């Protein structure tokens, strides 16, 4: 199952990528969330819970279903070739409006453990650029994520 999904997501042979179906698209996005959380080599429980909350919110999943989806996405992320390939497959298949939502979710994960991480922030900035989200929209997404987390400032 995961090998088939990886092939569909990262196939270089597909001339015009098809939109990701609900579950496949959410798994690809979840894998990117995990990629950001792991960027600083500290994949905390806070980040895992935040990812599950994001998955539940995006797809209307129960807590248990979100946990299962996160676990599946962890395997996808571990097998994904690199961040460029992962973001490319999302960009080619996900509308810009939803890509901005993805950046907001990435900032939520980055800010969720309460630690500043240059590696995580750099990965979000890289993903934003690769997804075609400009710096202004990324900054707005960061503020929205900080608000979602109840932080006074996204820079803290």
Q: 8-59, pLDDT tens digit by residue?
A: 666 655 555 555 555 777 888 999 999 999 999 999 999 999 999 999 999 8
**Displacement of CA 63 from its chain's centroid (Å):** 18
- Whether the predicted pLDDT of 156 surpasses 50: no
Instruction: Tell me what pLDDT residue 8 has.
Output: 60
Higher pLDDT, 7 or 102: 102
E strands, 2-156, where?
none
CA angle 39, 42, 43 (to 5 degrees): 85
Look up the pTM and report it: 0.86
Cβ 73 vs Cβ 34: under 8 Å:
yes
Nearest to 34 by CA among 1, 70, 58: 70
- For 52-102, the pLDDT digits (tens) are 999 999 989 999 999 999 999 999 999 888 899 889 878 887 888 899 999
């Amino acid at each position: 199952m995961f090998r088939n999904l990886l092939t569909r997501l990262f196939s270089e042979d597909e001339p015009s990528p098809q939109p990701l179906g609900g579950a496949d698209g959410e798994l690809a996005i979840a894998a990117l969330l995990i990629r950001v959380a792991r960027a600083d080599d500290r994949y905390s429980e806070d980040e895992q819970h935040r990812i599950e909350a994001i998955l539940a919110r995006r797809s209307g999943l129960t807590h248990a279903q979100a946990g299962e989806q996160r676990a599946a996405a962890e395997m996808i992320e571990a097998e994904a070739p690199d961040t460029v390939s992962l973001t490319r497959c999302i960009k080619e298949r996900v509308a810009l409006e939803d890509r901005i939502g993805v950046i907001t979710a990435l900032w939520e994960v980055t800010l969720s453990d309460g630690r500043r991480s240059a590696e995580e922030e750099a990965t979000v900035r890289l993903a934003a650029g690769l997804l075609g989200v400009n710096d202004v929209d990324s900054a707005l997404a960061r503020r929205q994520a900080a608000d979602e987390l109840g932080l006074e400032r996204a820079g803290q």
